[in-house]
Chain A
């Protein structure tokens, strides 16, 4: 029996190993998606089944559940002889969505950790590469109908063999992705993070001994499960339902429904999504690993103090929603799963649990990553470019306060690039970057505001693509609160204004110099009865121009 202090010390130590991997990865990475936006995660996984041992606190939330799935598939494939067995210094690379992934851009590196010649665990990380090939730069196609159109798909192969980078595999990758020359920097950073993890974990083995470490890992897992069960017991026993909608799949113009039933059974929660829409033609399918992870990260948002390991999620039983768009199989396209569908799943979880724990949970957040990609040729520089603009939106009101304005996506922690940086690199001029006025949902505590920006193409021609959501329905309020404003995309081209057919998703829209793209992102849902709001706050919000007097009258009376 391991003592309480050793348990706590080893838990903190494992956490620190992961945090150091996260920091190393971000600081050495090239791509701003990783270096600035922290779209990556690092963790430690069990040798025998890939179960999560520890994960960095600074990692992107959507990866909390996916990497364990990925490691489990790797273990299985090695066992089946389909993938070569690990040797010290190897690093497997894999981005196959159906093997425990998200979208193709999220590339996993997995390194075996040996002690005295025996595999003890896996060190793994995921990094979002800025491009992985496919029909649109950046990978967020709105129109793909099969995964092959979305980019290069890598099964688990050894990119590093006994510590040496395989130049042949590298050249295959570089021949299939855009802006390939900078990827070597990210690859080296991603590998360096795992090496740091190996060194630090090696120090822990030397200090505590293998047997103690093994016992502690089991003990920590049990404690995390117990901690989550204690939180679950605070939820009144019962059945809670909620639904949320994806605007469309980008190909067929009809909403996709996520139907969630949460049942508290003893000290477990069962999540049933099996009444959701069937698989879709366009890229808004979610793979099983991402669907699971979306539920986990939503619960981690609700109970942020529970540490992250396999035990944390043991009392959360997600029934595999076979036959729905939330359990996509090959060759369904999936590029929207991590960025958008996962946020709709999390939204359904928030709405269901808000019924059960109204004092703690919030109204729906904007819940879209707001991806806008612009690819073109800049005649002044004689070079092609791909620009990505991501934006946040309003968060839902809570029992205590109005929602945050321009909060990050539910599944992310990524910052936007400054306008001054975008204009240095790309032939664009922002005409405005402002609050989306009136977008916060009404309530006793209103939702936060989305963003309203307008960007003009200065030179040459370009194509615009959008993968956003909440264009058809605003983020819902809770306990009588109103919904936040919808996402709006407008194209001002040659004197006419158009709106994409699918409102929030489209690709390949042609722009000429002088044309403008205007985007308004969703506000958060309101919390509680609007009539309960302090009139002084309503008046302040009008004075600040957050709402017009007419809007305020309509929303608050």
Chain B
């Protein structure tokens, strides 16, 4: 289904509860806030931008001039967090005595239940080192690093994105761009590396053609043929990966 301005906003809002909370906060401030500048900046200005950004016209204009995938960033102009937190303080101070503790607890609960706990995000994992990249990548890169020069290496897709972040002298024949479907980037080596059964004879020949001094293979991946036929020797195993090295290719680059 094609995106619209409203669907972009819905996607940002998740279940929509936090968005509903924001709308309630704006309505509350509309009726209670007395100071002009607060009304202007916390009520009218956000309402203006919500109106403008949800117009199909605005969405279409943005789509004409740039990649519309970034449309969600336009909604960052809305001070959602500030308005909800400010309103919560105002609501809390409308009450007196022991009711206040209940109000504070209630407001906090509403926020917690409307939102999503960030540390449940699938992107998080326990850091394996101070670099916050997999330790296998650190060990592999340290082993491959050659002082004063670059080295080309072929990595499986799950490690690829970390390599040049950790050590920029280790280059890849292709990078993370082949993983992004929308970019339609293909590379013959990538197809060979990620095949269900890796043909090591063909892979070895292609890796030599692309000047890859190192080839990193998953130990668990089924293979046929042998990389040694193309001049590679097994250098060792690191965290579930086998590393092959070709001295001739290394010195030819």
Q: Do A and B come from one complex?
A: no
Residue ranges of B at the interface with A (Cβ–Cβ < 8 Å): none
The residues of A with any CB-CB pair to B shorter than 8 Å are none
